[in-house]
Each structure stands twice: as C-alpha cells, then as structure tokens.
Amino acid sequence: MSLAVLPQAAQATGAVRSAAALPAAVPPTAVPRAAPAPSAAPAAPLTSVLVFSKTAGFRHSAIAAGIAAVRRLGTANGFSVTATEDATAFTTANLARYEAVVWLSTTGDVLNAAQQTAFESYIASGGGYVGVHAAADTEYDWPWYGGLVGAYFASHPATQPATVKVEDRSSPSTAHLPQRWTRTDEWYNYRANPRSAVKVLASLDETSYTGGTMGDHPITWCQDYRGGRSWYTGLGHTEESYADPAFTTMLLGGIRTAAGASPADCRPENGYTRLFDGTQASLDRWRQAGPGGFSLADGTLTSVGGMGLLWYPVTPFADYSLKVDWMMPGDDNGGVFIGFPDPQGDPWRPVDLGHEIQIDATDADPSRTTGSVYSLKAPDAAARAAALNPPGTWNTYEIAVHGKRIEIHLNGVKINDYTSTRDIATGHLGVQNDGAGMDINYRDIRIRQDGAQSTDLARGRPVTVTSVEPGSTHVGANAVDGDPATRWGSAYADPQAITVDLGSVRTVDQVRLSWETAYARAYTVEISPDNATWRTVATTTAGDGGLDTVPVGATARYVRVQGTARATSWGYSLWELAVLGR
C-alpha cells in the first residue's frame, strides 16, 4: 500500500523535557548546498599577535590609538602584542610566532616579493589575518592579498554618522552588537562586492548617510582563505573608534576569529530566507504550542516558562538547510525541532513525530546533549568540543535535511549525521522553550531550500464538500485556510468527500491529511484533470488518525478525499488538507 499512515500523537511518558563569554570589554546582550565545513580542530590558544601598520600612501592619525587599543586587549585577554612597521618582520620563522597578524590601516605597497611569499606561507599554514580599515587600500598589485582582504578600496565620502546593519549576530566579533548600530566613521566603498566569497557580518544602510555607491554594502566580514582565516572591517578610521568598547570588542572578536581561538563559521552564506529576522512582524508569523512563550528585545527571542514550542505554520519544508543562532546563559536547555506536522496546540506531537536537535550543556546521556538528535544519535564528541562556544556566548546550528537524512553542523563544523526512520522528509520547524529556569535565546532563523520546492497548492483554494456537520461552522474551506484552530466536519454518515480545486493543472507531489479526533478508518485519495475523470492514487482501510502523508507524483487540477468508513460515531473531521506540489 502506497499510503504512509502515522498514529495520533500520544502523551510521551518518561521523556526528558529538553530545551546550550563575550570578551571582557562588553558583556553579552541579555534578554533581548553550502561550502564544505572546516574540519574539527581544537580552538587554538591565543598567545601572541603582530600588529603591522606600515604605510606607503595616506597615513591615518588613528594608527597610534589602534596599536594602544590592541595592546590593552592583549593585556586584558592574555596575549602579547608586538607592533611594527618594519616589513622585514615578514619571514617564515618570525611569522610562525603569531596566531594572527593585524594589518592596521596599512596603505600602498608595503611588502617585497620575498615578504609576500612568507606571508602567503604563513596563511597556508593556518595563520590568521585581521584587516582594519585602510588594509583594503593596500597591495593593489598582489592579487593573492586582494583575495585575502576580500575587496579593495574604491572611494569614500566625508566622515559622518551612518547605520550599520549587523547581519550575523552569532559571530564572536558581532554578537554583542545591536541589530542596527549607529556610529561615526569614514565609510569605504569597495571596487567589488565580496558577499559571494565571504561571510558578511555587517553591512551599511546607504539610506542613513550620503556617499554610498554599492547598494548592497558589506562593511565587516570573515572567510576561510587558502589554509588560514581572514577577518576584515572597514571601520576604524577615527581615533575615537579605539576608545569605543563596542568597536574594540568587535576587534577582539575579529582577532580571536582569525586566530582560530573562537569557533566561527566564515563560509559564505547565500540563498537563505529569514523566517525570523528579529522583528515583531516576522515573529507574528510564528505560533506558540503549549505553555510559556518568548519575549522579544533587540531582535532576540528569550524563553519564558514552558514546556512549549514556537513553530512556523506558514508552510512545511523539504530538502533544506536550516540555520538558527542560539545562546544558553548558563546550564540551560532548549532545542530546534524539524520535520513535524501541525502540532494542533500540543508540543508533544513534534517530540513524537519529528526530531529535536538538542541544546543542553550537561546531560550525562550523550544522546541528549548539545548536537544530538534527541535520544537517538549522539554527536561526535570531539568535533562538538572543538566547535562549541561556551554558555553565555552565541552558537549557530546548521541543520541540513534531505529526505530522511539529517546533518548537523555547529559553528560550521559537522558534528552529527543521522538517517531517520520517521516521516520527517517534509514538515514544520520550531524552537523550544523548555520551562522556567531553563533559559534559552534564539536569533536569526533562516532557511535555504534546495531544488524545486513543493508549496501548499490547496491553501485558500475553492473547496466543495458533500456535507457539513449540522448546526456547526466547520465548513470545508476551514481545511485549506492555514489556520490549525479551524477544521472541516462532516455529517455523521458514510460516505463523505472533500474536493479542492487547484485552479489549473499542477504537479502534485503529495497530499497531507491532518485528522481531528473524528478520523477516517477507510478512505481514498483521488485526482482529476477536469472534475469528471478521476483516478485513485491511494486507498487505506486501516487508518488510525493523526497525520497521513500520501505520495502522488502526478499532475492534476482537482484532489478529492473520499471517506468510506468512519472510525468514530461522529463524522469526518480534517484540520488540514494540504496538497504539496509545484
């Protein structure tokens, strides 16, 4: 039989209700198909940094303030700082002493050929590059360097205030910043947009100042580059920048990122759509199932009570990469749920029918700790340890679902790979609030869908039914209105049918039926091009309610569900009739 039938959710018994330091300069904000992932390697100790500030063109007056600021960061965070403008420091032996080299507003042609070769070798051996402001106005005749910095300087308007849009709020360099950060600087335009090759951490709102020429205007980014790592910011022109804790904390995060001292995903991030972008408008598209909920401040969701689930009801997803930024303040608990049907207000349906990607710092059961497919598959412990930022700091999950295969990346490092036995290939997404005292924060939930995607072709389309439950408001249109609180209910007799008109002949991948308590013991699913000639694509005589997923793989304009035997003394009752296709 081609029909896949799932039982109604039962209350779980014995399941653990699950729910995982910023630099000293600024505390963390409180309440408020991708490139290959890097291999898991332990975070490198940050012990020594070289600051290079040679100029062969314009010289910025803020260089001295910048060197002093990096020295203060070193003193406060346990690493030594050597500052030089002597290019002879660029030898293979000398560079090997440093985890990162900061190019602080360098300009012009500052290294000879041998020194360039030494620096290329340093990066190839895993070294870190930090470019600040005019580092992009340097070495125009060295293409390797242009790739390392990410983009060359083109022009700039007068120094003025502008709004920085912080795009990645899980990076060690930007997690402490607000979503929109207004500050005064000299705002560089670049010769090319680096977005396709780098991970953009922040960009400029060109409507907030005069003189921007790029439209999409990255201003801070990072990337893995030819064996090493690069972090660059166009900020840092003014002397005042280096007395600003928000900027110096960003700079420290950049140094730690480049040095490999803090896990960070610096792969380019293209093709993602934000399901939650930090605004109330995007949050309004989500729905809470179960107790508790979330508060919203500065683009950050903070859990309140529970155990509940905030889920995205607009559409189910198939074949996707889901990214979620999360932070546990301490020994707390949460989780990301995938592949579940409409929970109908019950947060245990996703537990029973989908999967939780767990966030929990201390559970002794390895299948119930951060990075696990909850209670089913533990993560690679060494890979997770290398990639995990500690409580109080932000982390990013990338959860790739293709068919029933689940691949989990933490801060860009793959830590788990599991093939499910559940029907999770298509389903909804959500984030958990585990309960009082199990605090967790989420930011920036986004998804990239791979290949041709199915949508719910039945949503809002005309429906005809053979009957409606006498005296009720449970009309047929309720089954396709996208509201999980409304349903179609029929008269208490057999047979009964509901038919949806898709408006034109479409490719139908599958039909999903979400039954209320009054479900069908026996029914057929039929398709037609003209509402006259019908073909049966699935039949069941042993339905047990809950969610039924019916593969179709054919073209049709009309889809009909024909109930022939009720499982209860009531009629047929459907929360949702979804027709997924293109």
> DSSP labels for 282-293?
HHTT-EEESS-E
- Point out which residues pair with 397 in neighbouring strands: 324, 410
Cβ proximity of 387 and 410 under 8 Å: yes
3-class DSSP state of 473: coil
- pLDDT at residue number 43: 64
Helix runs in 200-340, H state only: 245-259, 280-283
- Residue 129's nearest CA partner among 50, 194, 25, 37 is 50
* CA-closest candidate to residue 424, choices 501, 489, 350, 323: 350
Q: What does the block give as tokens for 7?
A: 């039982």
Q: What is the structure's pLDDT at 30?
A: 34
Q: Record the pTM.
A: 0.77
Digitized pLDDT (tens) for each residue of the chain, 582 residues in all? 223 333 223 233 223 333 322 233 333 333 334 444 444 455 678 999 999 999 999 999 999 999 999 999 999 999 999 999 999 999 999 999 999 999 999 999 999 999 999 999 999 999 999 999 999 999 999 999 999 999 999 999 999 999 999 999 999 999 999 999 999 999 999 999 999 999 999 999 999 999 999 999 999 999 999 999 999 999 999 999 999 999 999 999 999 999 999 999 999 998 999 999 999 999 999 999 999 999 999 999 999 998 999 999 888 898 999 999 999 999 999 999 999 988 888 999 999 999 999 999 887 899 999 999 999 999 999 999 999 999 999 999 999 999 999 999 999 999 999 999 998 998 999 999 999 999 999 999 999 998 666 788 999 999 999 999 999 999 999 999 988 789 999 999 999 999 999 999 999 988 989 899 999 999 999 999 999 999 999 999 999 888 787 888 889 999 999 999 999 999 999 999 999 888
What's the CA angle centered on 450, arms 395 and 506, to 5 degrees? 140
Q: CA 371 to CA 382: how far, in whole Å?
A: 12
- Which is it for the CA torsion 184, 189, 193, 194, positive or negative? negative
Q: What per-residue confidence (pLDDT) applies to 512?
A: 87
CB count in 10 Å sphere of residue 574: 25
SS3 215: coil
Contact between 18 and 337 (Cβ < 8 Å): no
Strand locations in 384-465 (E): 395-402, 405-410, 413-419, 426-434, 441-449, 455-456, 463-465
| Rounded CA separation 167/321 (Å) | 18
pLDDT at 72: 98
Q: Which three-class secondary structure state does DSSP give residue 273?
A: strand
Q: What is the pLDDT of residue 34?
A: 43
Question: Contact 271/41 with Cβ under 8 angstroms?
Answer: no
The Cα 248–Cα 250 span in angstroms is: 5
Q: What is the pLDDT of residue 313?
A: 87
How many whole angstroms from its chain centre is CA 470? Answer: 47
Q: What is the Cα–Cα distance from 16 to 150, expressed in whole angstroms?
A: 46
Predicted local confidence at residue 41, as pLDDT = 52
Q: Report which of 456, 505, 493, 460 is spatially closest to residue 478, judged by C-alpha positions.
A: 460
Q: Please provide the size of the chain in residues.
A: 582
Look at residue 314 in the predicted model and tell me its pLDDT. 83
- Sorted by sequence, the CB contacts under 8 Å of residue 129 that are 6+ apart come out as 100, 101, 103, 123, 148, 149, 225, 228, 229, 230, 231, 258
